[in-house]
Structure 1
């Protein structure tokens, strides 16, 4: 009996691959070349057997990993059988003659049969197919036919890539949504994840259409491009992953990581994670820059060309928007402005704009370290960045990619790319910290100290990867960091204890009866009787859990921890009632002089100014004073609102959004006109705000809100004086917030006995002592809704 030639051929294909994989002598590029050579030799021999020869009207073309000669252990074989329609009677036999032996060999096969017009039709209709065909490489048969197909498809791509760019970008983002980011995943997908092999191949496709610079130009200052190195590293890991797993797999699992690391001689799984993460960060940065370059190359079409875009829109001192990116102002001097890095990052996060690569390079080359202790302005800029919800991640990643983030937080490299030790964690430690910050941003209006919550979220796991109890190690690290940031001693103490005890509440609710008096007393003792600290621990427990992974935070856990926090606070005597700050003697003397006055003095930072505004007391004065400041682009950092000797005496600590400190003479002129009724300050402010908003949106949609944002909150507190109520507002701050809220209170016919205003980063925590015409729950609820409506 004659042997089945097809079966013999399949056995030869399978045996050759098995031998190469089992030898143990081949790794990396040598193994990939050997696998490709084996498959190509088999395909060429099979083509001879089937009569697929030069000029015969059939051509076998490889795409995918074989087309790029990047076959790893269990890669699929991706093939296109091209025909010229001259031999329809042979087409099925030729195709089956290739496909069946490959299937019989147990090798994955992705195949298609196309004429040249069909290939072009598919490339035009399916962007994924078009990108795959760009890697087409002739294997056997009619070389001219294969050349016609590949040149036709590539010509079509060059001609239509500009029109198809939105589809390409949307497809990539959809893929990222499914697979996540390689740089920060505990078990990353090397091929399909954001920052993976497919992204680099996509960049090459855009370069082929002359929309980006491609692999070779990512860093023209180096002989070997970092992007090429990243690609080589990811491909090397994928090669060993297939060998270790013994099957086709693109996701690096924790149980395989140590063996892969040993094969690559890079240490242990933690070292392997850093190799993968660094390569993915490099790729992600290149993809973001490549997409922006491609979009700029495509340009604006249709009626959008007729819209006049603002050339440079100011965002902060020394920071502007240009071409959809955050760039440095023309007069910015990074070498003499240490805080510029933080303002650039916070402007990027607030406005959801990427930071220009050249701006990052200038900052990396010339920006000095921030002098210690930090000024209040520098700390405020950091807090604004941290309060940006999920947008904080991209801004910090951009700084970290260029070495700027570790100048702000030198302790960061120890947790960068550090994989978690527990499978429950979805992220590397550094990304987990940023995710915790993002979730904490949604809780800033639920605590009295949103600034300490954000800092605690950023720093709570900083002790990991150093051996020992990371909570204790982290607490030791955080003390000097707090000193560097310029925190007051009591705030330093709270932040240190917040890191030390960040696992306290989750541990208690799983091991003790949270309703038992002894449990409540024990927790109160652990936090040193600090009501602010226990409230912060509850919020940090939620942010930490949500940032860990799906299902870690749930209703059961929320109920237990929330109830425990409330019981401990009640055990400690309830929340502290705010009280007005006394007026300094010199301020009292100014008030007794009467009239409209504005006095300014230097405050806690180089751009911070204390502005005292005095005017005859009456309804509407506070909102007018606040509107005067907002019209001058002054952001209130804090304020004390009082009355004395028949005058409203309000002191504001302000910072200019950009520009110079306030002109007291101009402020007094506007305030006098507003108080006398000659100037409708609210109407002027509203018009200016609307004009700026329209200018910022010309040609684009409004900046969308973060998916993780803190809602404004109002709560009523008991006042010391009978007949008075305390309204506490916690809300995301902006330049006109105080004017709007004060105006709403005044329109309701309320007297504001005193107020204490504080802005902690991007969150306003304002307390108003009010005399209500009607002291009922319904009246309070209606007023609260009116205040929330203007936030």
Structure 2
């Protein structure tokens, strides 16, 4: 602070802030907590010096609220200041001489001028102002005036909390609904999200009303991490920012000496879940502790209503009966959880802590009653999510499933997933509960879904590792050996159907035979995997379970059942009647043909063109130009005619006029329509906007060999673009690749596209140099 002087020059303040944020070469960079402390001290010193210089002494006081009041000032947080006075005539002069230098220096400022009565009144009518004034901190001037306001605001807060509580709870719930969870978002809002810094302030406000205790140690530690991340995010961005974007996370992690963005995400998830749990429990506890007045004070205490053996409802929460004992009743923990999920009532915090202190580990194998209660819990669907979260935050879920530790708060490794791995497992189980009527063994569907990704976070193939863990858990739960083996197979092969459906040719009998042999001709396992694929996709993120993916997996499962039943599968590679007719028409007059079949959804478009370079790229480009989303493309060559069958759906409105599609196709083939330019214009006008400064994730390519058909499958993962299939087709044709079929899966803003390339040698022997050349071309086209 040696750069400041007694004149209160805000320019010096701005320079001092700059020095703290960028101390210069060779000078020590302050850590996040030290930087906040230095920023608070700097602003306190400048404000108090300025206040003294302008005569702000008696009958007026300057107080800080918000981040400065809480001593949590991040590098680019606004200053929240209140000028209190008790009728001084020169208060407008004082305000101007305080505020204008800060504005001139470009320092963000939120300000107000109040008498004590006005401050109390605004706190009584504005929740945001009330929360700020509850945290008010004296900076300069008359300390007695600051204390007077602080005491009056707190007294009014406590006195009026009963009438304001519903507004407090409703505003928190609305914020959580709108912003989402910090713990489970790929790009969390550290301040406003569920489990963020505003929830710590919520608990503090409830404690100020003497309804709950002050935050516990885990919440205080979580608050510290959230503040540190937000501080480094401000410093990195050069401006105020509360949302931690994926591309900033590695730099923030490095600044905090955390290994990488995944470790940072995991730490943030654990911290945010502690805060979220404290806020939720705090609201429930506070509601029960509200002072009763009038006739309400004369009413009898809430009655304890029996819900199940050892479980009662009391004051709107699930709690234990007076004689219930977890030591004597091994199923009690799960019965409490299942009852809470079934009734929609939360488990009382005291009950959770009592069970955490007294419930022993279940012996192996579990008693039948405990397994029954677990299945009852898992079968409730959506209500189980909050119940499992409450069990997990108090250590009870980990006691039931020790294997859970490796996936707890584990961040996803790809953009399609929106949940941490543990939350994804619970979300998938909630989805599977809706599908239990489709299978003969709903119990195995629920347990297998709960465990399908349990092998993640341990290194190696998570399906293989998960199989052994699922077998271990199945035996502990008390399943017989045949069922244990089936659970292991579910986890081992949980990706078999979706990967085969999107990476293999379902018309090829070899594909179906391989799936059936992999499943050892087990129809029950096939049924379970089909429903698990749907639950897994629905719990991954928006758009992952698309109508087209559903069609592919059901088609694959249906063909597998037919083969298991001894039915003969259709011949491989035979063109359909529509394709033959289109090819014949081209042969007859030499002109391209285009036919649309919209009798089922999604629709199909058959395009027949005299075999020539660029035919596929032209057809795909015309479809993209008319806003048709391509889900799959099958290719056949009939004589000298190339026939493409596209499965499509319109992104907007209905299907375009086939005559217009054909006209544009002819123009594209003869060069009158330059597709690259037309698609670039369309992308410029209609592509979704990226957040400011955010670059899309770089595309990736994976290769899969199919030894049976002599083909290889190139899988492209990247960000969706208008005309992407056209660009990839141009790249593949430029490399001389022989494309057999393509499948396109759009997962929100991401795509997973598979292209089957024929090696032409009868074996999957596409040379490494050729693969590298094709891969570079495809990545360049997708980038």
Residue equivalent to 2:697: none
**How has the CA–CA distance of structure 1 residues 306 and 31 changed in structure 2, closer, same or farther, with 3 Å as cutoff?**
same
- Residues 52, 58 of structure 1: 8 Å contact kept: no
Shift of 1:301: 6.6
**How has the CA–CA distance of structure 1 residues 525 and 194 changed in structure 2, closer, same or farther, with 3 Å as cutoff?**
same
**How has the CA–CA distance of structure 1 residues 263 and 529 changed in structure 2, closer, same or farther, with 3 Å as cutoff?**
same
Residue equivalent to 1:155: 155
Taking the TM superposition and a 5 Å limit, the aligned residue runs for 1:502-517 are 502-517=494-509
Shift of 1:307: 7.5
- Residues 523, 564 of structure 2: 8 Å contact kept: yes
Match for residue 32 of structure 2 among 25, 28, 44: 28
CA distance, structure 2, for counterparts of residue 312 and residue 153 of structure 1: 37
Question: TM-score by structure 2 length?
Answer: 0.67
Residue equivalent to 1:40: 44
What value does the CA root-mean-square deviation take over the aligned residues? Answer: 2.8
**How has the CA–CA distance of structure 1 residues 487 and 186 changed in structure 2, closer, same or farther, with 3 Å as cutoff?**
same
Q: Can you list the C-alpha shifts for 1:721-761, whole angstroms capped at 9, x where unaligned?
A: xxxxxxxxxxxxxxxxxxxxxxxxxxxxxxxxxxxxxxxxx
Taking the TM superposition and a 5 Å limit, the aligned residue runs for 1:290-301 are 290-298=282-290
Corresponding position: 1:416 with 2:408? yes
Match for residue 321 of structure 2 among 322, 329, 350: 329
**How has the CA–CA distance of structure 1 residues 308 and 509 changed in structure 2, closer, same or farther, with 3 Å as cutoff?**
farther
Q: Can you list the C-alpha shifts for 1:583-637, whole angstroms capped at 9, x where unaligned?
A: xxxxxxxxxxxxxxxxxxxxxxxxxxxxxxxxxxxxxxxxxxxxxxxxxxxxxxx
Residue equivalent to 2:255: 263
- Residues 516, 560 of structure 2: 8 Å contact kept: yes
Shift of 1:212: 1.2
Identify unmatched segments of 5+ residues in structure 1: 219-224, 576-791
Match for residue 64 of structure 1 among 41, 48, 66: 66
Shift of 1:74: 1.6
Residue equivalent to 2:204: 204
Q: Can you list the C-alpha shifts for 1:439-487, whole angstroms capped at 9, x where unaligned?
A: 1122222333221221122111111111122112111221121111222
Match for residue 490 of structure 1 among 476, 482, 494: 482
Q: Which has the higher contact order (CA 8 A, sep 6+)?
A: 1
Taking the TM superposition and a 5 Å limit, the aligned residue runs for 1:679-758 are none
Q: Can you list the C-alpha shifts for 1:14-61, whole angstroms capped at 9, x where unaligned?
A: 211110011243223322121011112222233344x24112x54322
- Residues 7, 104 of structure 1: 8 Å contact kept: no
Paired residue secondary structure (2:479): coil
**How has the CA–CA distance of structure 1 residues 307 and 569 changed in structure 2, closer, same or farther, with 3 Å as cutoff?**
farther
- Residues 305, 314 of structure 2: 8 Å contact kept: yes
Residue equivalent to 2:182: 182
Paired residue secondary structure (1:442): helix
CA distance, structure 1, for counterparts of residue 242 and residue 104 of structure 2: 24
CA distance, structure 2, for counterparts of residue 494 and residue 35 of structure 1: 60
Match for residue 523 of structure 1 among 507, 515, 534: 515
CA distance, structure 2, for counterparts of residue 235 and residue 213 of structure 1: 22
Taking the TM superposition and a 5 Å limit, the aligned residue runs for 1:441-460 are 441-460=433-452
- Aligned residue pairs: how many? 559
Paired residue secondary structure (2:9): helix
**Which has the larger displacement, 566-575 or 408-417?**
566-575
**How has the CA–CA distance of structure 1 residues 154 and 363 changed in structure 2, closer, same or farther, with 3 Å as cutoff?**
closer
Shift of 1:528: 2.2
CA distance, structure 2, for counterparts of residue 96 and residue 570 of structure 1: 83
Q: Can you list the C-alpha shifts for 1:344-391, whole angstroms capped at 9, x where unaligned?
A: 211121122222333323322332222222233222211111112222
**How has the CA–CA distance of structure 1 residues 547 and 208 changed in structure 2, closer, same or farther, with 3 Å as cutoff?**
same
- Residues 237, 260 of structure 1: 8 Å contact kept: yes
Q: Can you list the C-alpha shifts for 1:144-172, whole angstroms capped at 9, x where unaligned?
A: 44444333322221211121111111111
**How has the CA–CA distance of structure 1 residues 558 and 102 changed in structure 2, closer, same or farther, with 3 Å as cutoff?**
farther
**How has the CA–CA distance of structure 1 residues 8 and 282 changed in structure 2, closer, same or farther, with 3 Å as cutoff?**
closer
Residue equivalent to 1:75: 77
Match for residue 432 of structure 2 among 416, 425, 440: 440
- Residues 120, 152 of structure 2: 8 Å contact kept: yes
Shift of 1:517: 3.9
Corresponding position: 1:106 with 2:106? yes
**How has the CA–CA distance of structure 1 residues 505 and 119 changed in structure 2, closer, same or farther, with 3 Å as cutoff?**
same
CA distance, structure 2, for counterparts of residue 161 and residue 467 of structure 1: 51
- Residues 95, 113 of structure 1: 8 Å contact kept: yes
Corresponding position: 1:560 with 2:552? yes
Corresponding position: 1:428 with 2:420? yes
Residue equivalent to 1:612: none
Identify unmatched segments of 5+ residues in structure 2: 568-783
